[in-house]
Amino acid sequence: MRRSLTFAAVAAVLSQTEGHDYPFVRSETRVLEDGSSYAYLNDLSSYSTQYSKCVRAKIQDDNDDQQEGNSYFVNGRYHAQYKTFASFVLCEDNGSSCGTCDYNTHYVTDLDTYLDSTITSIQEVCQACANQCGRRNLEDGGNDVVANCNTCVSECSLINYGNGGEDETEYMACQAAYADENSGIQYYSGPTCDSSGGLVIGLFYDEDCTVKTGSELDNGFSYDTFKTVETFCGSCSTGMCDDLYPYALHCFGAYNMNANAAEDGDGVNSKSICKAAAQK
């Protein structure tokens, strides 16, 4: 049976949290038949955030030359173009790890924004962890972050004491990878999704990294940083959510509930993104 939605209240209010002034947001509550609900959170200090998955949404194009909705011609046929996003969830912050997470609402932002913000925050925490915890225990932590030694040693083990291999963070921007001498095709590389929603450096046909070849860039990556991003529990009280939550799509079912987020951008509408994020 399809889930029906009821609206408890609909209003636009100016949302303020300590130290932050956000634009107008939807202050509406949606309730599903199972009792789950959505509401915009003005105070995130009691929450943590955790990566959910990487999702891709097809870019719509009305080009008359396209075939079956695929508009990019390369290597003898038309290909679909996709924009890539990261979804994350909010969890109860119990002080030592992520508590119960709310999987009814997925927060979605473009992958580049998510990685830029999250990797910077994680690297700061893990640097502080290396300096403040364990045998090193340096007085100068190197930044203002106070590490939680009960959890960070395990969470930061790959970044701080990883497996070696090529560093994937050197390939964060879409960039030229190599040219095939036989076909003459120029390939590009950049962050994208693997088949299970994880993070990898993919291989693309175009300079915007929207047309996947179906292969990953084989540069001997250990993916220490990406694996840490996928499992890390970050407390919003440290500011880790500040750059993501206010302007992300707040996907409650197939609906975006956050008026701050762009409903349509780069040929992708919010409903298709939210549907992709909600799929299990």
Q: Are 170 and 156 in contact (CB under 8 A)?
A: no
Each residue's pLDDT tens digit, 56-95: 999 876 554 445 556 788 877 888 899 999 999 999 887 6
Q: Are 117 and 244 in contact (CB under 8 A)?
A: yes
- What dihedral do alpha carbons 245, 247, 223, 100 form, nearest 10°? 20
Each residue's pLDDT tens digit, 211-266: 999 899 999 999 999 999 999 999 998 888 999 999 999 999 888 999 888 766 66
**pTM for this entry:** 0.82
Cα gap 203→187, rounded to integer Å: 7
Q: Report whether pLDDT(20) > 50.
A: no
- Compute the Cα dihedral for 64, 69, 74, 77 and give only its sign: negative
- pLDDT computed for residue 164 by the predictor: 74
Range from 5-19, 60-74, 171-185 carrying the lowest mean pLDDT = 5-19
Provide, rounded to the nearest whole percent, the portion of the chain with pLDDT above 70: 78
Which tokens sit at 2?
């399809």
Q: Report whether pLDDT(13) > 80.
A: no
**Which residues, 6+ apart, have CB-to-CB distance to 80 below 8 Å?**
58, 59, 69, 70, 71, 72, 211
- Cα angle: 136, vertex 241, 212; to 5 degrees: 95
Range from 115-129, 164-178, 259-273 carrying the lowest mean pLDDT = 259-273
Q: Report whether pLDDT(169) > 50.
A: yes
Each residue's pLDDT tens digit, 117-132: 999 999 999 999 999 9
- What dihedral do alpha carbons 141, 142, 145, 150 form, nearest 10°? -40
What's the Cα-to-Cα distance from 199 to each of 105, 107, 115, 139, 195, rounded to whole Å? 21, 17, 10, 35, 9
In SS3 terms, the chain reads as CCCCEEEEECCEEEEEECCEEEEEEECCEEEECCCCEECCCCCCCCEEEEEEEEEEEECCCCCCCCECCECEEECCEEECCEEEEEEEEEEEECCCCEEEEEEEEEEEEEHHHHHHHHHHHHHHHHHHHHHHCCCCCCCCCCCCCCCCCCCHHHHCHHHHHCCCCECHHHHCCCEEEEECCCCCCEEEEEEEECCCCCEEEEEECCCCCCCEEEEECCCCECCHHHHHHHHCEEEHHHCCCCCCCCCCEEEECCEECCCCCCCEECCEEHHHHHHHHHCC
